[in-house]
Amino acid sequence: MRNLQTVLAITGLLATTAATSVLAQEVNIYTTREPGLIQPILDAFTAESGIAVNTVFLENGLIERVEAEGERSPADLLMTVDFGALIDLVEAGVTQPVQSEVLDAAIPASLRDPEGNWFALSSRARVVYAAKELDLDAITYEELDDEQFRGKLCIRSGQHPYNTALFAAYLAKHGEAETKTWLEGLKANQARPAAGGDRDGARDIAAGVCDIAVANSYYYGLMASGKGGDEQKAWSDAVKVILPTFEGGGTLVNVSGAAVAVHAPHREEAVQLLEYLASDEAQKLYAEANFEYPVSASAEVQPIIAAFGTLVPDSQSLTDVLPFRARASELVDEVSFDTFGN
């Protein structure tokens, strides 16, 4: 009987261990990016590794959610669509450092935290959509306030992170007085209220509301590929994409990225997923699925995006731009950027 009890105890222990092992083969992502945009990549990771990936979409309040959950948080990986948001995660203390030779080799030093608290996984350019018939093939960000575009510019809210990043970069280069004047010029050039999304700029160009729009590069790929439906394909057919530059500089690039959560219950799996996302295989999937630029120099750029021409990112570091975000946001309000016609 005692032997039988011993066998049963050992069997129970093995079963518990096995169940724990199975449960451990997962990784939980909290993301501010629509999960559907990266689902093909996550599916490929699961197929290769056997690790299940669960996603929780949090358009707002990611930091607050992790802080409220504390040590019991199930979050393993935190993903954002903006560089500033990555830094916010670190400053809030909800990340932990990762040291990985794989990540260091795949991701340029300028696109990852020296301490390993965050890693860029894809990038996008802040570009100009222009009506195809418009005699315009090159433009600087500084020229967006030119009088030739009075009443002809479409742009989303000045307080949206995509625009705040652009305005902060301008502020870092040109100072407060010039930036305020420039923002006033952009406001004067608006063809309709600064609102909606980037794809709405292409829609309104197609409808004759405006001649140019400021948008992220990947939205054009989503439209031109037909992934947005026939209506959005027609919008993309009405525009051409120009890679603007700063005077004497390059094109503004922002990044999507990820960090391992401070209390990650599946830390090893989270790092494994991060390393996969930085691989050429996943970077190619990123480019194909989301029409973003890979962060890995050896990964291919999707053909629709490559057709824009050679992207030369501005040499100004995103880290250097970050301190100017708050003041840029204040200037947006000071010039009533989002109030049309006043």
Residues at the annotated binding site for Fe cation? 218-219
Residue type, 208: G
Contact 314, 246 (CB under 8 A): yes
CA angle 174–178–183, rounded 5-degree value: 110
Q: Give, as one character, the DSSP assignment of residue 190.
A: B
Report the C-alpha dihedral over residues 151, 157, 160, 162, rounded to 10 degrees: -20
Nearest to 187 by CA among 1, 342, 22: 342
Distance (Å) of CA 77 to CA 23, 52, 71, 247, 274? 17, 13, 14, 38, 8
Contact yes or no for 78/66 (Cβ under 8 A): yes
Output the known binding site: 218-219
d(CA 246, CA 236): 25
Distance of alpha carbon 151 from alpha carbon 220, whole angstroms: 23
Alpha helix segments (H runs only) across the chain: 2-24, 35-49, 62-69, 83-91, 101-106, 161-189, 198-206, 217-224, 230-237, 267-277, 280-290, 303-306, 318-321, 325-334
